[in-house]
Amino acid sequence: MPKPATAADLAYAHLRDRLLDGAFPSGELLSEGAVATELGVSRTPVREAFLRLEAQGFLRLYPKRGAMVVPVTPGEAAAVLQARLLMELFALDSLAARPDEVVRTTGAELLELARREQGAQEGPSSRQALETAREFHARLMRAGGNPVLAAAHAALWDQQIRVSAASTAQPAHAAADIDEHAALARALAEARRADARDLLVAHIAAVGRRTGLAHGPLLPPPAR
């Protein structure tokens, strides 16, 4: 039987959702008392939620002042996206080496996922875009056939969720993210392997640009 959610769990979920939706911009100072009043709880569960979010890198605590929303730095964004790109290119290349039928089937499954979000009546929210992105890229990694690398990618995604949140914080950004997923999936569904590879590189580079932090090439030129 699942353990009932505590007040600290509810405060944590509320704050994390608002951080991921961009409701709390980088550098904003959050008041423990104000959050407690908003949620109708005491300060203690809010303090516990602040501590959890500090451990995850979302907040920086200042005694008697509150908690500041930690900005995503250019170095952090670039490093995370470089690691993602290397892992996902390996998975895509591994998938591309398989028969057309496998590539097309995987592409069709990914395209269906992206189309569900494209067709949402109210348009994709930041939170929806983040969840879709997680599932989309996780499926791509699993299709690569290397479970160790897929697990490493999942761990990396948890570490870089702040970068993803920054990249989908605006409605147009969230929609662009999903449209790029659809274009990549469509290329795979049509077994256009080279196009899919180019679209993956372009997509992750676009994520960097949408953060406003990673503008240059993510990978160094090949060694000669």
Q: Which residues pair with 29 in a beta bridge?
A: 68
Tens digit of pLDDT for each residue in 72-123?
788 888 888 999 999 999 999 999 999 999 999 999 999 999 888 777 645 5
Domain ranges within the chain, ordered by starting residue: 7-69, 74-211
Residues contacting 97, CB < 8 A, separation 6+: none
Is 7-69 CATH 3.30.450.70?
no
Count Cα neighbours of 162 within 13 Å in the Cβ-side half-sphere. Answer: 23
Q: Which residues pair with 66 in a beta bridge?
A: 62
Closest CA to 70 of 139, 206, 161: 161
Tens digit of pLDDT for each residue in 1-10?
557 789 999 9
74-211: which CATH architecture? Up-down Bundle (1.20)
CA distances from 52 to 38, 47, 193, 200, 203 (A): 19, 9, 42, 33, 31
